[in-house]
Structure 1
Amino acid sequence: MNDLFEPLKSATTESVRAQIRSQAYRGHTAGLGGNTLQANLAILPEPYALDFMRYCQRNPKPCPIVGVSDTGNPNMDTLGGDIDIRTDTPAYYIYRDGIHTDTVHDLRNLWRDDFVAFALGCSFTFEHALQQAKVPLWHIENDRTVPMFATSIQTVKSGPFEGPMVVSMRAIPNARVDEVVEISRKFPLAHGGPVHWGDPAIIGIADVSSPDWGDPAPVPDGTTPMFWACGVTPQAAIKNAKPSIAITHKPGHMLITDIADDAETPIYQSR
């Protein structure tokens, strides 16, 4: 476990981002940021940007757009004060020709004038509401990254971008399933309600103990596996599109914004 994780749970978004920017904290962001929106990232050369934006618009459940940068500008002022896409996420995946080649913690040496950055809402956002309702979340309680799976659900294609929907899983006590559905539905910028719960085989998941991303998590007796659309979906699409270079967040390692988690629009306004 990272020694900073527990103290950062009660820190301001600015303090959390400062620890990430300095690389003092490189861990997952589940449970951090309080009542603010967390975001997945996808960074692409400008010739791919319009097709990717269409892909997100055609697949709003896994890819809810909350911010788009100007070409070549790493600052995303619509998401919060002093946010720099190059430094403010704990870890980044580098893809070359659709292949994950590197994991880095700073993009300043890789940033290009033709890059466009996309921020997509993340299900970590509604977890704070679940915690306030005292719903147990194993991955947060055990400082692990939520398990994520590629499914048999296909997204709607745009240009070279296509592929399966990725979902995140949380095991929820049976008696609280309906309550959790209703709580998460209140956060449309963060994937909203689950896409499935119950038998994982129905959505093409053969073994919930073996996630494609993140850490394995138990599904104890008396709980139901629940699955939410996940912002890792674009990473599967990027593998198919094969741009010469693309950058995403490392799954589970998000950008923490200053947008209220219950905001109806994703535009940050200074407080």
Structure 2
Amino acid sequence: MTSDTPLDARSSPRAVRLAARKGELTGPTSGLASGFVQVNLVILPEAEANGFLRFCQANPKPCPLIAVSEPGQRECSVLGADLDIARDVPAYRLYRHGKTSGTLESVANEWRDDLVTFALGCSFTFEHALVQAGLRVRHIDEQRNVPMFNTTIPLSSAGGFGGNLVVSMRPFLAADAIRAIQITTRFPQVHGSPVHLGDPALIGISDIHSPDYGDTVSVGDDELPVFWACGVTPQQVLMDAGVEFAITHSPGHMLVTDIPDSGLALF
């Protein structure tokens, strides 16, 4: 980020979006604009959208739907005012024929009138609640992107899409892990409770210090790795399906919305 005014937890969602739009914010959004919902993006041609919608409905843990746009729309009033889906994410990924063809700061030049945007809940949202409860979130403390891993946990196939779950990991002491489970269970629209804790090998992760996406963080000998369903899951699913064209956020680089996270809490 090159802005003279650093963004932090107190920044407004609009300030974060504008910084991304201007190219001043190019890094991960974890810890920014605390108290507001961050979303993963999956952008597909309308011909693929109905199938992907069925996939999301069959897999609400990794793909919790917050909003779906009309074809061609770059704004979405449900997510926020003065919002441009094609420019307000710090980094995007572009896919052609199931392969990543590059990371871009803007996808305005790639935009098409048939593109449908899916906004999916992101676990960065519940991190505000964890911090408020006095829990330390390791990747925020270490100013890194959250570590994310491919797993052997199968997804429910639907709409021509399928594959295995991707998870994000945050380490905690045992007592703090219990508290984290209690807190995140309140937020099912941003992945909710963890899917696993403890031995990573049980879900197909061979090395906790070698994530498939994001950054490595320190994990103490007395800490439990806790794993949540991750919004990077659809990116792997898109590649497995060999989709002709798609756009997503780059892992860890989210769209920050105007939706208060308190509005998603169950209790």
Please indicate the TM-score interval, normalised by the length of the shorter structure: over 0.9
Q: 2:142·2:217 contact (CA, 8 Å) conserved in 1?
A: no
Q: Which residue of 1 aligns with 2:99?
A: 99
- Amino acid of the structure 2 residue aligned with 1:17: R
User: What are the residue-to-residue correspondences of 1:121-136 with 2, within 5 Å?
Assistant: 121-136=121-136
The code of the aligned residue for 1:45 comes to P
Find out whether 1:188 has 2:196 as its counterpart.
Answer: no
Aligned to 2:147: 147
Instruction: Say if 1:146 and 1:214, in contact at 8 Å, map to a contact too.
Output: yes
- Please identify, of 162-171 and 216-225, the stretch whose mean Cα deviation from structure 2 is larger: 216-225
Distance between the aligned counterparts of 1:98 and 1:5, measured in 2?
38
Matched position secondary structure for 2:15: helix
In the TM superposition, what is the alpha-carbon distance from 1:262 to its structure 2 partner? Answer: 2.5
Instruction: Report the equivalent of 1:109.
Output: 109
Per-residue deviation, 1:153: 0.6
SS at match of 1:19: helix
Question: After alignment, is 52-61 or 213-222 more displaced?
Answer: 213-222
Corresponding residue number in structure 2 for 1:177: 177
Displacement of 1:8 in angstroms is 2.9
Q: Tell me what 2:215 maps to.
A: 215
User: Does residue 249 of structure 2 align to residue 249 of structure 1?
Assistant: yes
Contact 1:151 1:205 in 2 (8 A): yes
Note the residue ranges of structure 2 that are not aligned, 5 or more in a row.
none
Cα distance in 1 for partners of 2:16, 2:226 equals: 29
Q: Cα distance, 1:163 vs. partner?
A: 0.8
- Structure 2 residue matching 1:52: 3-state secondary structure: helix
Change (3 A) 1:183 1:28: same
> How far has the Cα of 1:33 moved from its partner?
1.6
| Residue pair 1:4, 1:25 contacting (<8 A) in 2 also | no
Q: Deviations over 1:139-195 (max 9, x none)?
A: 111211000011111111113211111000001122211111001111111100100
Aligned length, in residue pairs: 265
Q: Which residue matches 1:228? A: 228
Q: Is contact 1:209-1:216 (8 Å) kept? A: yes
Which amino acid letter does the alignment assign opposite residue 135 of structure 1? L
Output one character per residue of 1:120-147: Cα deviation in whole Å (capped at 9) or x when no partner: 0000000011111221112111211000
Query: CA 1:162–1:105 in 2, change beyond 3 Å: closer, same or farther?
Result: same
Would the aligned equivalents of 1:9 and 1:33 in 2 still touch at CA under 8 Å? yes
Contact 2:2 2:24 in 1 (8 A): no
Map of 1:12 onto structure 2: 12
The verdict on how the C-alpha distance between 1:7 and 1:49 changes in structure 2, with shifts beyond 3 A counting, is closer
Q: 1:73 matched to which residue of 2? A: 73
Q: Report the CA distance between 1:232 and its aligned residue.
A: 0.5
Q: Secondary structure at the match of 2:86?
A: coil
Give the counterpart letter for 1:80 in structure 2. Answer: G
Contact 2:38/2:125, CA 8 A, preserved across alignment: yes
- Write the letter of the residue equivalent to 1:35: G
Contact kept? 2:147, 2:216, Cα under 8 Å: yes
| Percent of pairs with identical residues | 48
**Superposed displacement of residue 5, structure 1:** 8.7
Q: 1:3 to 1:88 in 2, by over 3 A?
A: closer
Greater shift, 38-47 or 8-17, is seen at 8-17
